[in-house]
Amino acid sequence: MSAVSDQPTEGERKLRAILRAVLSSGVWALIAIHVASALPVRLGWFGEISDEVPWPRAFWSGFLLAAVLYVEAGLYTMLARTREAVSAPDVFRASASVFPRFLWLILKTAGFFMLILLTVVIFVSMVLSTLGYGDAEAIKPLMEGPFRLILLLLPALLVWWLPWVFTRQDFSLFSTLKSAIRQLWREPARTLYVILLALVPAALLLVWAEQLNLWMLTALEAFGLLCVWSANIYCVEWWRDAAGDTRAVTGTQTPAP
């Protein structure tokens, strides 16, 4: 039988991704950490959300952010190694070797996007100054729309890009980001599916946040994260099939510059 005939159909790949997410205790462990990071703030344990951020909340947020990144590193690694459900213990063990490179990649990515945002702010400020609007308050309404759009689209880009990084074990920033973005335009149907799966639950959460009670809000957040990881697994499986399964499973590493 040819290799092409062994490839799953799109429907099979999407269904398999959803089932792997539901059956993977590693995914649920990450969802639990996300929920745990939000519950104390929503319950008012660190004061009102509108108050100045106290140090306990800042410490809690920093600790859980590190925990999320650590578990994500192991989860992506295990998803790229196997086509089965991923257990939480396997995720924690796998993260130890890859976490430093993943953390460095995240720091470079954050710095890169902050530089882009700062460049845009400076450019808009210069234009407004030229037009006679030197007040900083005039910049805020113009920047709110683009900033929210970036925050909305960035998770979808990460869902598309990070599976590419881990299936190839290439933790360089610009080469992997360029390759992943290039594929965005070549695969419009898959891109739309990933965007919808990753962003629709988040959009619903933003719309209904004021109308739902605490537990309904938590359940919707957990459902949204499950959808995000279904999209992640779908991308991992697609990149593995596109690159060749042997390279992904054996974890051939490409040094990051």
Q: What is the pLDDT of residues 211-250, one digit of tens each?
A: 778 888 888 889 989 999 999 999 999 888 877 654 444 4
Give the pLDDT band (50/70/90) at residue 144: low
3-state DSSP call for residue 254?
strand
Q: What is the pLDDT of residues 75-96, one digit of tens each?
A: 999 999 998 999 999 999 999 9
The residue segments making up the domain with residue 66 are 10-250
Q: Is residue 2 in a domain?
A: no
Handedness of CA 253, 106, 173, 78 (dihedral sign): positive
Q: Is residue 4 in a domain?
A: no
Q: Is residue 29 in a domain?
A: yes
Q: Is residue 40 in a domain?
A: yes
244: left (phi over 0), alpha (psi -120 to 50) or beta: left
Q: Is residue 22 in a domain?
A: yes
Query: What confidence score (pLDDT) does residue 136 get?
Result: 57
Q: What is the pLDDT of residues 163-183, one digit of tens each?
A: 999 999 999 999 999 988 888
Instruction: Report how many domains make up the chain.
Output: 1
pTM above 0.85, yes or no: no
Q: Is residue 16 in a domain?
A: yes
Q: For residues 60 and 37, give the distance between their C-alpha atoms in angstroms, rounded to a whole number.
A: 7
